[in-house]
Amino acid sequence: MDYREAEQRAPLKRVWKGMIPIELQLAASDAIELLASAVLPEPFQTFYMLIPRVGYLPFFSGKIKERWLDPMLALSGSRTPSDQIEESDIWFEYKGQALKWHYPIGLLYDMLVSDVHRGDAELPWSLTLHVRKLPTAKIIAQPNGQLMRDMFMAMIKEADFIRNGSTKRVMDLAKSDQMQFLDGLETHSYEKYFAIHSILVPTATIADSRAPVSSASSTASNAQKSRGAMQPKAIPVRFYMQTAGSLDDGSAKDAQAVGAAASTSGGNSNSNASATKQADIMQFHVSQVPIPLYREGSTSELATLADAFKLCYGITDQTNDAFVTNCACISHGVCVPWESPISWLAEHFFYADCFLHMVVVSV
């Protein structure tokens, strides 16, 4: 790898290596059932772990069970054998909210930790672990590693279809390549994962990684000079917009309503309250449409993050940029400038499922 290529990969490596320290406590109701006491014995009151932002919670349930729950049950004389707790029984909660385990961990953190956009991180991230009464009305049942792998590959196929108009790249992977790809994700191995990712998403469509916030037109010239990689038909992007109340995900009418709110009050009827109130995962509207590489009607001006937001939320007035002032867009714990070219972000800020997951909150 030459210096230029290493320089291009630097932002991507930093994103991949992003970690979140978590602090786990067993739910009191589960502790009473397992140990006949809400107070855990020493030294099992709290379990600490460092987990990657690009990972998924079910991939760590086995380690948590092996290193924390099993020894705790064995040494405490519990009448509940450890083999009666399955990995698929384990689920996580943050301040009373069951975590959607099929979301990337970094996305969950950015959605729920209220002051991320102000640079005030909650570290370690304090979570409650449950092994009983999984709330299937709120999260998908059976949160185990195999189901997570299947759901992850479904997202990879969706991203492939958005980028290329078919799932051929994914479907043509050899079984051994699929296994290496998943193992790279599960073990957080940069080398294993990106050896296969480079097959699915060939080398950069934008040459200059040093200037993510530059004029879209000047950056477009770099895109046209890229090293022979086929430009994508569209970019896989999902926005998670914090709203004042629960909305039906995917509804075009809801998306337009949320977009209109973002252009006036920042998406929440009480912006000041939203600064301190605990975020509710049920109050995030999820919107996804394929985002073209270039601005509408242009073959030289690259689409920006602001353009992508307008497209997702039905803001037809191209001069309406009020949401730029009213809202912050967060990904991987970073406030992403609205003028960032969406194609640069697609190469350097994607999650392991090849999607850009962008959290939009009031400021």
Q: Max Cα separation, the chain? A: 70
Q: Is the pLDDT of residue 158 over 90?
A: yes
- What does the pLDDT read at residue 238? 97
- What does the pLDDT read at residue 216? 53
- What does the pLDDT read at residue 30? 93
Cα–chain-centroid distance for residue 243? 18
- What does the pLDDT read at residue 263? 67
Please give the average per-residue pLDDT across 286-296, as a whole number: 93
Q: Is the pLDDT of residue 340 over 90?
A: yes
51 pairs with which residues across the strands? 20
- What does the pLDDT read at residue 268? 52
How far is Cα 216 from Cα 236, in angstroms, rounded to an integer? 19
Report the percentage of the chain scoring pLDDT > 90.
63
Q: Is the pLDDT of residue 269 over 70?
A: no
- What does the pLDDT read at residue 277? 64
Of residues 207 and 144, the one with the higher pLDDT is: 144
Of residues 240 and 242, the one with the higher pLDDT is: 240
First-to-last CA distance in the chain? 41
Do residues 241 and 267 touch, judged by C-beta distance below 8 A? yes
SS (H, E, C) the chain: CCHHHHHHHHHHHHHHCCEEEEEEEECHHHHHHHHCCCCCCCCCCCEEEEEECCCCCHHHHHHHHHHHHHHHHHHHCCCCCHHHCCHHHCEEEECCEECCCCCCHHHHHHHHCCCHHHCCCCCCEEEEEECCCCCCCCCCCCCCHHHHHHHHHHHHHHHHHHHHCCCHHHHCCCHHHHHHHHHHHHCCCHHHHHHHHHHHCCCCCCCCCCCCCCCHHHHHHHHHCCCCCCCCCCECEEEEEECCCCCCCCCHHHHHHHHHHHCCCCCCCCHHHHCCCCCCHHHEEEECCCECCECCCCCCCECEHHHHHHHHCCCCCCCCCHHHHHEEEEECCEECCCCCEHHHHHHHCCCCCCCEEEEEEEC
How far is Cα 197 from Cα 202, in angstroms, rounded to an integer? 8
Q: How confident is the model at residue 324 (pLDDT cuts 50, 70, 90)?
A: confident
Q: Is the pLDDT of residue 209 over 50?
A: no
- What does the pLDDT read at residue 91? 97
Structure pTM? Answer: 0.88
How far is Cα 125 from Cα 24, in angstroms, rounded to an integer? 8
